[in-house]
Structure 1
Amino acid sequence: MGHKGEETKQRMIEVMAGLLEKTGYEATGLTELGKETGTPKGSLYFHFPGGKDELTSLALLHSGNELNLFFQSVLRDTESPAHAIKQVFHALEERIISSDYQKGCPIATTAMETIGSVPSVANVCNEVYSSWLKTFEFYLVGKGYSPRIAKNLSLSVLSLWEGALLLSKLQKSPEPLRVAAKTAELLFKQN
């Protein structure tokens, strides 16, 4: 595959990632993808022989990696876990507000839709969440937390922001994220 083919493939992955975040797996059709990317439906199967499930998996990995790189940059540039978590929640709040409450977690909707119906995609969702957790656990262990406490705190923070993102989208309000951020900060001040 040439340079142009690689660019087309990458563009399809990125557009699919945005569509999945906005509308989820079930509501994202290949026709819509073709319109958004300007490619014929046949191009999908040329670039992704595994069809929609393969493209979805790659799009989720792309989104998950992008967000994980963001988490790593925030963690690297902050002086304390409480401050780092505050920064993460603040960035998630800015992201959801700037998208007019269209963007939340790039993985959650697809994860919920595919758990019982498309195991290969659900497994990728789990892989992305696991990578995020490992990023936070590694950071916390580096800040002196025991591996067990780091694991528990990471899972708690992820659960807080996932629930807060959902409620913020539903209510079209940043308030759930703000409350969850304060709760997350308290977790670190107590440990």
Structure 2
Amino acid sequence: MGKKGFDTKQKMIEVMASLLEGSGYEATGLTELGKETGTPKGSLYFHFPGGKDELTSLAIEYSGKQLNDFFLTVFGKCETPSQAIKQVFHALENRIVSSDFKKGCPIATTAMETAGKSVVVAKACQDAYNLWLKTFESYLVSNGYTPRIAKNLSFSILSLWEGALLLSKLQKSPEPLRMAEKTAESLLKQN
């Protein structure tokens, strides 16, 4: 595949990632993707022989890596885990508020819609969550937490974050994220 083909494929992955975050798997159609990317529907099957599921799994992988890179950047700049978690929650709040509460977690809606339906997509979602958990765990261990506590904290913080994003979207308010941030900071200080 030449550069133009690679660029088209990458654009389709990135646009699909954005559509999935805003609308989820079920509501994201291939016609909409074609309009957003300026490519005919046939291009989808040329670049993604596995169809919508293949494209979706690659879009989820892309979103997962993008957010993980953000976490790594934040962790590299902060002196303490408390500062890092505060920055992560603030960025999530800015993201959801600036999108008028349309965006939140880039994979949560798709994960819920495809669990038990599409093995390929569900695995991509699971892999993204596992990547984030491992990144958080490694960061916490490097800051003096035991591996067991780091693992528990990572699951707890990710659960707080996901639940708060959902409630913030439903309530059209950043308040759930702010409360979850305070709880996450308390968890970090207790251990």
- 1:145-156 equivalences under 5 Å are 145-156=145-156
- Give the drift of 1:182: 0.4
Quick one: distance in 1 between partners of 2:57 and 2:116? 16
- Give the drift of 1:121: 0.5
Quick one: distance in 2 between partners of 1:86 and 1:3? 40
Quick one: distance in 2 between partners of 1:26 and 1:73? 32
- 1:10-159 equivalences under 5 Å are 10-159=10-159
Quick one: distance in 1 between partners of 2:103 and 2:2? 33
Which structure 1 residue ranges, 4+ long, deviate > 3 Å from structure 2? Answer: none
Quick one: distance in 2 between partners of 1:97 and 1:45? 35
Quick one: distance in 2 between partners of 1:139 and 1:168? 27
Normalised to the residue count of structure 1, the TM-score between the two structures is 0.99
- Give the drift of 1:13: 0.3
- Give the drift of 1:58: 0.4
The Cα RMSD (Å) is: 0.5
Q: Deviations over 1:50-91 (max 9, x none)?
A: 100000000000000000000001011101111111110000
Code of the residue aligned with 2:121 in structure 1: it is V
Q: Deviations over 1:148-187 (max 9, x none)?
A: 0000000000000000000001111000000000000000
Q: Deviations over 1:69-114 (max 9, x none)?
A: 0000101110111111111000000010111111100010000000
Code of the residue aligned with 2:56 in structure 1: it is T
Quick one: distance in 2 between partners of 1:181 and 1:119? 33
Quick one: distance in 2 between partners of 1:186 and 1:113? 32
Structure 1 unmatched ranges of 5 or more: none
Quick one: distance in 1 between partners of 2:104 and 2:157? 15
- Give the drift of 1:3: 0.7
Normalised to the residue count of structure 2, the TM-score between the two structures is 0.99
Quick one: distance in 2 between partners of 1:152 and 1:86? 18
- Provide the secondary structure at the position in 2 that maps to 1:26: coil
**Partner in structure 2 of residue 162 of structure 1:** 162
- Give the drift of 1:125: 0.3
Quick one: distance in 1 between partners of 2:21 and 2:183? 26
Structure 2 unmatched ranges of 5 or more: none
- Give the drift of 1:116: 1.3
- Give the drift of 1:120: 1.2
Q: Deviations over 1:117-142 (max 9, x none)?
A: 11110011000000000000000110
Code of the residue aligned with 2:8 in structure 1: it is T
**Partner in structure 1 of residue 5 of structure 2:** 5
